[in-house]
Amino acid sequence: MDRRQLLRAVAGAAAGFSPLLALADDDRKTRRKSGSSTPQALPAPTSPKARVIVLGGGMGGTTLAKYLRMWGDAVDVTLVDRNPSYTSCIMSSLVLTGQRSMSSLAFGYDNLRTRYGVRTVFGEVVAIDPVACRVTLQGGTVLQGDRLVLAPGIAFDEVPGLTQPDAMPHAWKAGPQTSLLARQLAAMPTNGVAVLTIPAVPYRCPPGPYERACLIADWLRLRKPQARLIVLDANPDFVTEKDNFSRAFFDLHGRVIEYRTNVIIDSVDPTSRTLFTNGGAVRGDVVNLIPRQRAPQLLADAGLLNATGGRFAAVDVLSYASTAAPSTHVIGDASATTQPKAGHIANQEAKVCADALARLFAGGSPDPAPVTNSACYSTITMSKASWLHALYQYDAASASMKPVAAGSGASVGWNGDHFEDMGTWFTALMADTFA
């Protein structure tokens, strides 16, 4: 089975409406391809045919590095991240309800080095030259490649008045703010008011804020029955999975959640935890303020943010080459495509990009008809989940990834089996990325 068949088979499995099958199938086929039940060790090449520098060891960058080493013949791959361990955002809202520990979300890079021969460098990248394919680290080290792949995730817009970010944590990059928000919720008065804000699209993980709201509401119902949760949505309506989330917000959690739409936050006062909005002032005992998002400034400085009003990087989705600097590729949340900003999609984009680079280094061209898929589970309560699945296929007329209706859909309602499947899906996705 070649790479193209593999990518199609993964999407095909997903088209059967079982989000769980997609990655399990992917893992099996990759192993079958290598002819082994366990991955074979791939040492870094001694005479590389090409060098690739990857910025960002998250969902996109790590998958890209691993698969490019497996699929590219003698390609030298160096992965750069500011941290020696990655903390998964996926499943991180369960830390808020005490159902997951932060350590259960940590993933290291040992497998990448020892099994796949990826070189790792830990440090802060402070400059990118997307034409010369160079990145500069804090301290002056310069890494030079034949191609760059950028997967740095997102940055947040500044919120006027938010001088103490910890007073209103976003917890939208899993890390210290996730633990902080959990502590703030635990310390909230039993009859307190929590506020959660949802930014205007496009933002990281479209269902994420709604599922977090449902989780917090269920937790409040059990732990602080007099408490309320005000959800301030900058969008005019639920941006995804409307059937399930509207039933959850208005029926199941209707006593806890108050949902307001089209809310623009003009400024905040962190001391009194007040948000000044187009609909008046809103005060909370705990405020989970998720600001509007864009790709990191580093990419703006390099002239790569040429889409979505200068927020994200336009790419050719056959190879994820930047339309501003074609020897630099941008994958994951930092790129502007028709696909959602999600970890599963970052993993899929990484595979399409790795396949395209392997073909280009072999003197060929990218696959002209890539397919991708994304599965997403949403926690509706602390023990029940719904799911959403989308399949995308390249559309030459619009040069974009188009959703395929026959391969997309959502669960009707939620249940405990889907919640269990969510754990299995997460384990498979993280193994496909980091193991």
Ligand X SMILES: Cc1cc2nc3c(=O)[nH]c(=O)nc-3n(C[C@H](O)[C@H](O)[C@H](O)COP(=O)(O)OP(=O)(O)OC[C@H]3O[C@@H](n4cnc5c(N)ncnc54)[C@H](O)[C@@H]3O)c2cc1C
Rule CB under 6 A: say whether 169 interacts with ligand X. Answer: no
Is 301 near ligand X (CB under 6 A)?
A: no
Among 67, 71, 86, 394, binds ligand X (CB under 6 A): 86
CB of 301 to ligand X, least distance (A): 11
Tell which one of 82, 134, 221, 402 touches ligand X (CB under 6 A).
82
Q: How far is the CB of 65 from ligand X (least distance, A)?
A: 11
| Cα–Cα distance, 38 to 205 (Å, whole number) | 32
Q: Which range in 5-13, 77-85, 241-249, 382-390 contacts ligand X by CB under 6 A?
A: 77-85
Rule CB under 6 A: is residue 58 a binding residue for ligand X?
yes
Q: Quick one: 249 or 274, whose CB is closer to ligand X?
A: 249
> What are the distances in angstroms from CA 423 to CA 10, 105, 216, 248, 255?
19, 12, 19, 21, 29
DSSP string, 265-306: EEEEETTTTEEEETTEEEE-SEEEE---EE--HHHHHTT---
Q: For the purposes of burial, counting CB atoms within 10 Å of the CB of 380, is it exposed (0-12), middle (13-18) or buried (19 or more)? A: buried
Burial class (CB in 10 A: 0-12, 13-18, 19+), 276: middle
Segment near ligand X (CB under 6 A), from 1-9, 217-225, 245-253, 338-346?
338-346
- Over the Cα atoms of the chain, what is R_g? 21
**Pairing mode, strands 106-108 and 119-122:** unpaired
Residue 332 or residue 370: which is nearer to ligand X going by CB? Answer: 332
| Nearest alpha carbon to residue 327 among 175, 177, 128 | 128
- Rounded CA-CA distance 215/333 in Å is 24
Name the segment binding ligand X (CB under 6 A); options: 12-20, 95-103, 306-314, 328-336. Answer: 328-336
User: Minimum Å distance from CB 66 to ligand X?
Assistant: 13
Q: Where are the beta strands (DSSP E) in 20-74?
A: 50-55
The reply to whether 134 sits near ligand X by the rule CB under 6 A is no
Residues numbered 192-221 forming contacts with ligand X, rule: CB under 6 A: 204-205, 208
The nearest distance, CB 279 to ligand X, in angstroms, is: 25
Would you say 207 and 345 are in contact if contact means Cβ atoms under 8 Å apart? no
Q: Is residue 224 within the footprint of ligand X (CB under 6 A)? A: no
| Structure token pair of residue 30 | 């990759």
Q: Which of 117, 206, 343, 407 is close enough to bind ligand X by CB under 6 A?
A: 343
Site for ligand X in 365-424 (CB under 6 A): 376
Nearer to ligand X, 349 or 367 (CB): 349
Rule CB under 6 A: is residue 105 a binding residue for ligand X?
Answer: no
Among 8, 29, 48, 83, binds ligand X (CB under 6 A): 83
Nearest partner of 381 among 339, 422, 340, judged by Cα: 422
- The site for ligand X (CB under 6 A) is made up of 56-61, 80-83, 86, 89-90, 92-93, 124-125, 151-153, 172, 204-205, 208, 296, 298, 332-334, 341-344, 346, 376
